Structures are given as C-alpha cells and as structure tokens.
A and B are shown apart, each in its own frame.
Chain A
Amino acid sequence: MSNLINVTINNIPLQVEEGKTILEAAKMLNIHIPVLCHHKDLCVAGNCRICVVEVEKDPYLVAACAIPVREGMNILTNTKKIRDARKHILELLLTEHNINCIKCCKSSSCELQNLALEYRLDEELFINLLQDIPVDDSSPAIIKDDTKCIRCTRCVRTCDELQGVNALAMSQKGRHTKMSTYLEKPLADVVCTNCGQCINRCPTGALTEKSYVEQVWEAIYDPSKFVVVQTAPAVRFAVGELFHVRPGARVTGRMVASLRAMGFDAVLDTDFTADLTIIEEGTELLTRLKKALVDRDKSVALPMFSSCSPGWIKFIEHQYPELLPNLSTCKSPQQMFGALAKTFYAKKREIDPANMVSVSIMPCTAKKFEANRPEMRDSGYKDVDYVLTTREFASMIHHSGIDVLTLKNEEFDNIMGASTGAAVIFGATGGVMEAALRTAYQIVTGKDVPFEGINITPIRGFQGVKQASLVIEGTLPEWKFLEGVELKVAVAHGLKNAHKLIQGLKSGEIEAHFVEIMACPGGCIGGGGQPIPTNIDIRTARMEGTYKADSKMLLRKSHENPEVQALYEEFLGKPNGHLSHELLHTYYTERFKY
C-alpha cells in the first residue's frame, strides 16, 4: 500500500499517492499542464521544461513531469512567472525550428505547433537560429529532418527503452546537441529497423515516414496501369481515428468503399494472405517438428521464429544473425500478396503484370523497407510497388474529397479478398501465434484447440513476453509422432522484449517450439505507421476492437478460408510445395551490428 500525500494545487487540497509526479497529481484535478518531452510510454526526461510549475518556497520553477509530490507541497500552475517562462521556452524552441508548417506532414499532429497556437506566439521575439542541415532521406522508410528537432529525446528513449535498438542517440553538446546515429551515418546505414516507433512519438516533424502518396496517385491516374491495393489487418481498427472515430472502431466497409472511390482497380485484402501465411508457416513448423522428433535431424533449427514483422526481421539480421536459421522462411503477408498479385491474380484477371501496380496500406513503416528488398521480386517484377502507412492513406482520402463517414460499407473484391478471424487477429501481439495454433492443432488432431471458444487467452494482452503450452492429444494417424507432445510457444512484442525473449531462450529459462515476435508494442495495432498519438489506452482500444471482430466472424480458422483453398487447388498445389517455395518463401541476410 502506498501512502497518501497531502498537497494543494492552485489552492485546491488533494490527496495523492506517494511517488506520483506533479503532472499526474494535476491531472487528477483536470488541470492541464503542457508537455513536450514527456510521453506516457517513456521514462521521464524533464528536459524541454515547458511543464514548469511553481512550488511554494522553491526559488526555482520545477518540471511537473519529473518531480514527485511531497507532503505539504503547495503547487501553483498558472502564475505570471510560469507563463513568462513557458512563453520564453516556446519562443526559444521556435527560433531553432524550421517553421514550414503548411508543408509539414506532421502539421495536424504537431505538439509544438499546437502549443505555439495556444500561446499565440505571433511576433518573433528572438533571433532566428535555424541551421541549414540537409534532410536525411537515405532510408526507404524514415525521414529525419534535424531542422525540426526540438531535442526532446523522445525518439532516443523510444529506440532504447521500447525497442532496445539504439539506432538513435544524442550526440555533441551545447548548441551542437543533436539527435544522431552511430558516427553520424545516414539512417539507411545503421541498425535502424525502420519500425517507426520514433515517428509515432516525435512531437514535431523531425521524424516522418517517407511518403509514396504521389507515386500512387500517378499510378491511379494512369489509365494504362491496373492498380491493386491490399490493406493490412491492423489498419481498419485505427484509420478511423484520423476521422474522429474512436480508437478500435472497425471501419473495414468504409475503408474499402473509399479505396474504390479513389480509383483503385482492385481492392483486396492482406488478411487473405495472412490466412495463407498460417497455412505455409504452420506446415513449415510441423515439418520442422517432424524432422526433429521423428528423423532426429539435428540440423533443424528450433524454436521456429515467426517472420511477419519486417522490423523484427531486420532486427534479428543485425543483432542475432546466428539465429537466422530459426526464422520461418515464409514471407510476410504483404510480400506473399505482392508475389501472388502479379502472378496468380494477374493470370486469373488476364492482366499483364508489367502493367500492374501493387500498392499496400500498412500500419507499418518497416514494410516500406521490406518491399524494397532486392529479394522481393519473385513475380518477375517488384512484388509490392508502393507501401503507404495508415496515415498516408488517410491523407489520400482527404485529397480525394471523399466524405468517408457518409460512405456505405462495401466488401473487398473476390479472388484475394476473403479472410477469416484468424487473419483479423494478426494485428495484435499473439495473434499470429493464436491463428497458427488454431490451424495446426486442427490439422494434427482434427479438433479445435482446447481453449474456450478457441480464444487462446494466455498469449493475448500487453505483457511483454508471454508463454503458453498445450499438450497435443488424439492425433490423426499421420501425426502420431506428436501424440502427447507438449507444444510450447512464446510471444514478444516490442524489440526490447524480443531481446528478453531471446536471452531467455539462450539461457534455457524459456523453452519454446514456436516463437512469435512483433517489432512494435502491442503488435501491428501499435505500428509505426498508425495514427498519432499513441499510448497504452489507444493501443488497448485497437486490440479490443481486433478480438471483438474475430469473435464475430463465421470463419475463424485460416484453413477454412475458401479463397485460400481455391488458391491451392488452382495454383499452388500443396502447402510448402514447389511453387509456394518459389513465390511465398524467402531468405535472410546477416547485417552488421552497429
């Protein structure tokens, strides 16, 4: 039990739990204190100083976000001294800032801009200090513009605390202080995984995704091009937020309608290839298990790691190259889709794949990097031409003049548009694992997974590393070798937790046959391409929406997807077959560690 502490804020008495900050205490009274460097997901920095407040008897102003309450503290949040200091701090930040707000894609979500408007800073008080620093656009996913950086270190803390990647760090001191990379190298040449979590937490436009919106419009306007679009599972639970719909609300029907209205020639679903991924990855797992358990093949790498998250893929290539054999060779659903769009789909619709443009809408920035990998051209063309984030997609809706909220719900096109509940939950951490178990258990035993309502709850939720096990009983004759085997699985989300999980596997603390890792906190629903802001409440709402949607689906197991079944019958043959390997599987590259 923590002690209660008596304080007053603006002369209102209040009891607060010991250890709470002044900021948290003020929130209890609905007193708003502005913040810039503070973020709920991150540790306290207390360096922007915009949140300063007055504490009786303290000669200095104190940072509300950083200072815990003390017994008898009398706090004032609105005095001349505070207002003068805040205005000065904002003025100072603006003298360093590249104020081209009308051209900045973060304009609508820029916290610095909001504060400047709040405080009506219309006259330039101090001398302009804007430096001429070139934009780092070396990465296919993330753009770093130091002229907009306010040195709040949110990105640095994100990269360290949430992701354990440390691609970004502060360097230099004094007026030269900057957010930087190893040896000031371009972002493309460092350990950055392109996860984009820094973008989601950057209060300004210093970190943004590289936009491909113009190229996509070009393709749509070009009558000679057939433009197919796929939408990832997590997009539909978040994009509504950019149109003032509550987080977690499922807007699939209107999303499809808006894409069609924009002029895409085929509106298809990544959920379809999510189901396909489960068939391929599940088969691969069972094959690996058979080789290990029956054939006693020591060369089989177990546990098998999921390979859906491109941020995670680049992470393991940098940090744990010795574990690359453990990665499933399955491409991510996006890339499976891309490879099939320009082969299977093109053939069925009798379209020349050379005239096809394949666009994907993703909650992710790492997917932009993934689509540009040289190995992702198995269709004979670039499998996925352009990747847009949820945010870019929303901006396209705005460009097109569509009033998305008045649209009628529409369905995805067929051939590659059908999906199951198993694909829906891909967007949440543990979802791929749950989908895989639902299918694998049924293949092996002919029965449903032994969890109530096939909801595998131990691997749901926001715990950093989750583990579960189930004993396989009543196997079909073909899978007799798995009878009585206790199948162990582990799940991690956020790359810091990936570190923990791998360390646990290495030390023997964690045992698993199959491991799912998603680069972003919460999985794709918290992806780096999702609407800003992000925090645990928003991610929780998106996750709840995901599981609610799954529970309402008629088909909830990937192998039940009729279009996937048709795909195997008409085109691929069998899971992990020759054509599957050619189109749906890939290989990995060891990368440097700095």
Chain B
Amino acid sequence: MPTSTVKRTDLIFKKDIDYSAVMHKIMKMGKDEFIEELIDSGLRGRGGAGFPTGLKWKLVKAEQSPEKYIICNADEGEPGTFKDREILDNAAEKVIWGMTLAAYITGAKEGFIYIRAEYKYMQTKLRIAIDRMEQNIKALGIKFKLDLVFGAGAYICGEETALIHSMEGYRGEPTNKPPFPVTQGYLNKPTVVNNVETFVNAIIIAEIGAKEYKKLGTKASQGTKLFSVSGDCCKEGIFELEMGMTVQQFVDEFGDGDTKAVQVGGASGFCVPRKEFPNTIIGFEGVPTGGSMKVFNSSRSMYNTLENYLIFFEEESCGQCTPCRIGTQQLLMGIHAVKRKEKPKSYLDELLKLAQTMKFASKCGLGRSVGNAFGSIVTNFREEIIY
C-alpha cells in the first residue's frame, strides 16, 4: 500500500489550550513583539484573500482611536466550504481567544462574530463559551466584550466591507477601498476583520511560537489549513493538512481514481484539470483556497458545473457595479447561447474577454473572481461547453 504524501496535521482541533497561560505569555512578551512574531509566522488570512494577519493587526494597533473593533467573519458562504462551521462547533474557544488576543494586541474593547444565519443553532454553545472567556479575562485585567451578529443569507456579506455595512444595518454592499477597514471599518472605526480559521491560527501561534509554526507549509503558504473536501472523492469531510501540496498529491489521497478536475477555492476559485495536477500547488504560490476542494470525476459535465456557478453569481452579486451585475448575466446567457448554437463557438472568446474586464474593473472581490472559474473551465473544457 503506497504511503500518503499528504501531511496530516492536528493543531486546530486538538485538545484545548491553557488560554490564560498563553495570554500571560503574550502580555509578558509585549504587543509589538507578538506582532513581529505573527508577521514572522507568515500567517495569511484563511478566508481566501490571504492578507498577512500580523500586518493587519499592526495597522489597527497603530491607529489612534479610542474605539476599535474585532470582527470574526463567520459568514461562510463559498460553495463547497464548511470548515468554519466545524471550527465553531468544536473549537469555538480557540476562535474566541484568538479574537481576545487580537483585541488585546490592537487595543479593541469590543468584538463581534458575524455568523451566517444558517449557523444560528450554535448560538447557545457560543454564548456559553463567550461567557467563560469574559470570566477568565477578568483575572488578566483585559477588557473585551464579545457579541454575535447573524447575517441574513447574502453571499456578498462575506466581503469585509459588505459585512460591515450589514452589521451597521445598511444594504450589504462593498465599498471602495481605500478606506480599508483597518482605518475606517465598523462605525468608521479601525477594525480587524479576520476569518474564523485565522483567529484560531493566531492563538496557536501564540501558544507554539512562530518558529514551530513555520516548520509547516511552504515559504509562501506557511502553517496548516483546513480543507473542506467534497464531490467525487473516496473520503469527504474536513481535513487539516499542511500547506504546499500539489493537486496531484491531494487527488491521490482523496480522489476516487477517476478525477478529471478539482475546483480549488469554491465558485470563486480555479478549476484545475487533470493535466495540471502535478504542477499546481495548493497555496498562495499556486491556486489559493479558503478551504473548498471540490472533486469532479469523468461522469461530471463541466458545462453543468459552470452553469451552476454562474447562476450562483448572477443571484449573489450585490448588483451595484456594472461589470459584476450585468457581466454575470452575460456569461450565463452566453454559455446557454453557445450550447444552443445561437452564438458561434468564437463567442466564448468574447466572453473570456468580458471575464477579463470583470476581473479588472469590478468593485470588489466577487466580480473580480467570477472570471477565475469561468476562465479556467472554459479554457480547459472548451469542448464540453460547446457540445
């Protein structure tokens, strides 16, 4: 039996940390020193965009404002990702303490977990964990109030500025950046917005130190990552893996032996075809992912897959910017028209150009990433789209 080349890790769900001790250690170490440690660890946002977490915290810490906020983005909405639910269900304390750590470092006194409405069933559990944290930090002399906010079901509210708008009671629409949330976030105050998993990694780094953490992963993608594995695989579910493997290694471990493509990073990610498996690294140097890994075997129609994604985007675009609102509709109607022979094959090239415009000219990450799936599927599975 061949041995697996994928390296399993177990940091996120392993037994609880002595949080008070970790906090003591950090308080002794000093805020700036810990930020340096965090930057040194190479931790990048686990939501998918991959902004260096240490730098984000440093920027918020540097802001002169009596009010600052810590927001945990738990609006897990990317098709094919379900790892945040697992974390909140089974490792909520790590999230909460990760946020507490961020609050201590940046000087925030208040925080919120913005959770998608479908995860409402967890609220009792989470509130109990918050109560426990608040009890424990009294002894540490840290003031931090944490609350839960529930989303209303819009995918776009996972985008940080839209999320903030939603929290403020406005339409969940992204705004122009700058200003970034680190300077003008929730209620126009400096705000840290991090993914659930990012906070967990931060508290883990606080416990084990950057040196230990850096032993995992590659230079561009350090540490471990939770993957939500679904589709035509031999085992589906959530797996914590070291970053930096190739898609081939992943498919060898999880595929059903007939894998033709893997969609890395959900609907807004890239579709990697079989021929690219050995050369594609899963991580920031290759195809980045917030965790979603969808495996397709040869029985699947990539046309249907793409259509499904486009229907999703057409519905979930916030609708404010032209390239995204109308572009998504045109891509969807466009592949329909080509399939029905109402448009020539060459129309796909026009659509690819349009996808480029959407990537360059859209207002936020949603519109910019529609072209990822579209471009990679149309380019690699052109025949399937046409015939």
**Nearest CB of chain A from residue B36's CB, rounded to whole Å:** 26
In contact, A170 and B330 (Cβ under 8 angstroms): no
Task: State in angstroms the CA–CA spacing of A172 and B350 once bound together.
Answer: 29
Task: State in angstroms the CA–CA spacing of A129 and B326 once bound together.
Answer: 9
Which residues of B sit under 8 angstroms from A153, Cβ to Cβ? Answer: 320
In contact, B315 and A174 (Cβ under 8 angstroms): yes
In contact, B319 and A127 (Cβ under 8 angstroms): no
B327 lies within 8 A of chain A by Cβ: yes
Assuming the A-B contacts A63-B176, A175-B315, are A127 and B334 also in contact, with contact meaning beta carbons closer than 8 angstroms in the complex? yes
For A88, A127, A150, the residue with the greatest tally of chain B CB atoms inside 10 Å of its CB is A88
In contact, B361 and A177 (Cβ under 8 angstroms): no
Binds A, one of B65-73, B122-130, B240-248, B352-360: B352-360
Assuming the A-B contacts A52-B360, A127-B333, A175-B329, are A93 and B322 also in contact, with contact meaning beta carbons closer than 8 angstroms in the complex? yes
B46 lies within 8 A of chain A by Cβ: no
B120 lies within 8 A of chain A by Cβ: no
A67 lies within 8 A of chain B by Cβ: yes
**Nearest CB of chain A from residue B152's CB, rounded to whole Å:** 11
In contact, B318 and A173 (Cβ under 8 angstroms): yes
Which residues of B sit under 8 angstroms from A487, Cβ to Cβ? Answer: none
Q: Which of A49, A151, A170, A176 contacts B362 (CB 8 A)?
A: A49
Which residues of B sit under 8 angstroms from A44, Cβ to Cβ? Answer: 176
Which residues of B sit under 8 angstroms from A176, Cβ to Cβ? Answer: 319
Q: Which of B176, B330, B362, B368 contacts A126 (CB 8 A)?
A: B330
Size class of the contact patch on chain B: 35 or more
Pull 30 A–B residue pairs with CB atoms less than 8 Å apart, ordered by A: A44-B176, A46-B175, A46-B321, A46-B363, A49-B321, A49-B362, A49-B363, A52-B361, A60-B359, A66-B176, A67-B176, A68-B178, A81-B360, A88-B361, A92-B327, A92-B354, A126-B350, A127-B330, A127-B333, A127-B334, A127-B343, A150-B322, A151-B319, A151-B320, A151-B322, A173-B156, A173-B315, A174-B325, A175-B314, A175-B326
In contact, B350 and A174 (Cβ under 8 angstroms): no
| B179 nearest in chain A by CB position | A68
Binary contact track A87-100/B, C-beta < 8 Å → 1, others 0? 01100110110000
**Nearest CB of chain A from residue B358's CB, rounded to whole Å:** 8
In contact, B322 and A49 (Cβ under 8 angstroms): yes
In contact, A177 and B320 (Cβ under 8 angstroms): yes
Task: State in angstroms the CA–CA spacing of A74 and B81 once bound together.
Answer: 39
In contact, B314 and A92 (Cβ under 8 angstroms): no
A61 lies within 8 A of chain B by Cβ: yes
Q: Is the interface of A mostly helix, strand, loop or mixed?
A: loop
In contact, A85 and B360 (Cβ under 8 angstroms): yes
Which residues of A sit under 8 angstroms from B333, Cβ to Cβ? Answer: 127, 129
Binary contact track B359-377/A, C-beta < 8 Å → 1, others 0? 1111100001000000000
Which residues of B sit under 8 angstroms from A84, Cβ to Cβ? Answer: 353, 356-357
A47 lies within 8 A of chain B by Cβ: yes
Q: Is the interface of B mostly helix, strand, loop or mixed?
A: helix
Which residues of B sit under 8 angstroms from A45, Cβ to Cβ? Answer: 320
Task: State in angstroms the CA–CA spacing of A81 and B354 once bound together.
Answer: 12
Which residues of B sit under 8 angstroms from A127, Cβ to Cβ? Answer: 330, 333-334, 337, 343
B317 lies within 8 A of chain A by Cβ: yes
Assuming the A-B contacts A92-B327, A127-B337, are A47 and B316 also in contact, with contact meaning beta carbons closer than 8 angstroms in the complex? no
In contact, A177 and B357 (Cβ under 8 angstroms): no
Task: State in angstroms the CA–CA spacing of A84 and B359 once bound together.
Answer: 12
| A68 nearest in chain B by CB position | B178
**Nearest CB of chain A from residue B368's CB, rounded to whole Å:** 7
Which residues of A sit under 8 angstroms from B176, Cβ to Cβ? Answer: 44, 46, 63, 66-67
In contact, A48 and B334 (Cβ under 8 angstroms): no
Q: Which of A46, A88, A174 contacts B353 (CB 8 A)?
A: A88
A354 lies within 8 A of chain B by Cβ: no
Task: State in angstroms the CA–CA spacing of A331 and B325 once bound together.
Answer: 47
A125 lies within 8 A of chain B by Cβ: yes
**Nearest CB of chain B from residue A23's CB, rounded to whole Å:** 12
**Nearest CB of chain B from residue A82's CB, rounded to whole Å:** 9
Q: Which of A234-291 contact B (CB under 8 A)?
A: none
In contact, A174 and B327 (Cβ under 8 angstroms): no
Which residues of A sit under 8 angstroms from B323, Cβ to Cβ? Answer: 49, 85, 88-89, 92
Task: State in angstroms the CA–CA spacing of A151 and B324 once bound together.
Answer: 12
| A171 nearest in chain B by CB position | B171
| A93 nearest in chain B by CB position | B322
Given A129-B326, A170-B171, 4 more contacts at CB 8 Å?
A60-B359, A93-B322, A170-B320, A174-B317
| A129 nearest in chain B by CB position | B329
| A125 nearest in chain B by CB position | B350
In contact, B320 and A92 (Cβ under 8 angstroms): no
Task: State in angstroms the CA–CA spacing of A88 and B325 once bound together.
Answer: 13
B328 lies within 8 A of chain A by Cβ: yes
Which residues of A sit under 8 angstroms from B321, Cβ to Cβ? Answer: 46-49
In contact, B328 and A174 (Cβ under 8 angstroms): yes
B137 lies within 8 A of chain A by Cβ: no
For A44, A60, A153, A172, the residue with the greatest tally of chain B CB atoms inside 10 Å of its CB is A60
In contact, A173 and B363 (Cβ under 8 angstroms): no
Which residues of B sit under 8 angstroms from A50, Cβ to Cβ? Answer: 322
Task: State in angstroms the CA–CA spacing of A61 and B156 once bound together.
Answer: 21
For B319, B327, B343, the residue with the greatest tally of chain A CB atoms inside 10 Å of its CB is B319
Which residues of A sit under 8 angstroms from B350, Cβ to Cβ? Answer: 125-126
Which residues of B sit under 8 angstroms from A46, Cβ to Cβ? Answer: 175-176, 321, 363
**Nearest CB of chain B from residue A93's CB, rounded to whole Å:** 6
Which residues of A sit under 8 angstroms from B357, Cβ to Cβ? Answer: 84-85, 88-89
| B336 nearest in chain A by CB position | A127
